[in-house]
Amino acid sequence: MFEFELRAATKPEWAEVAKADFDAFLQDHAACERKAAGLAMSMVQHYPDKPDLVRGMIDLAMEEMAHFREVIKIMLDKGLQQANDEKDPYIKLLLSTVRRNSEMYLLDRLLVFSIVERRGHERFHMMGEALEDPKMKDFYVRLAKAEHRHYTLFMKLAHQYYDADVVNARLDVLLDEEAAIVKQLPYRAAVH
């Protein structure tokens, strides 16, 4: 019930591009994990009247920070530092689809974040398949499973706070928007 398919699959070339500059990919990955934790905590702050959302977002923030710590450890072992924050063009375009009126703002945020996590699930799985180092393969396969939990959490919360027909209709629109975004952006050494 809470699972869905993306409408534009990432082509295998993405993994080759990401592997070709794996240091930059790791830096972007660390930034994504840190930003995801911050986003989850901002949801806790903005929706204190929704206890299930608060609990879910705190758990999510803790897991994202644990992933951040793991990526940073890999980077430090390689002698890498965090890169300067840059606006992720995929996230920027996807967030531009969020309706700002108060009634649907939460729904759109939950669905957009679910789609982002679903894309992360797809790409981490691809990275796990593409890497040769067994430890790194296992790391990304494990992260893909975590992204699956994350995207279904956002979907579960959307269904908890909105009627199924409303959720499904809006998800349909957003999945088309996301597919168009993915098709227009060039692949880069980044998660999105």
Class of the CATH-defined domain 13-184: mainly alpha
| pLDDT per residue as tens, the chain (192 positions) | 689 999 999 999 999 999 999 999 999 999 999 999 999 999 999 999 999 999 999 999 999 999 999 999 999 999 999 999 888 999 999 999 999 987 899 999 999 999 999 999 999 999 999 999 999 999 999 999 999 999 999 999 999 999 999 999 999 999 999 999 999 999 999 999
Q: How far apart are CA 192 and CA 186, in angstroms?
A: 10
Angle separating helix axes 22-46 and 13-20, nearest 10 degrees: 100
Contacts with 139 (C-beta within 8 Å, 6 or more apart), sequence order: 70, 74, 128
Q: Where are the domains of the chain?
A: 13-184
Cα–Cα distance, 125 to 82 (Å, whole number): 23
Residue closest to 181 by CA, chosen among 78, 95, 120, 107: 95
pTM score, whole prediction: 0.96
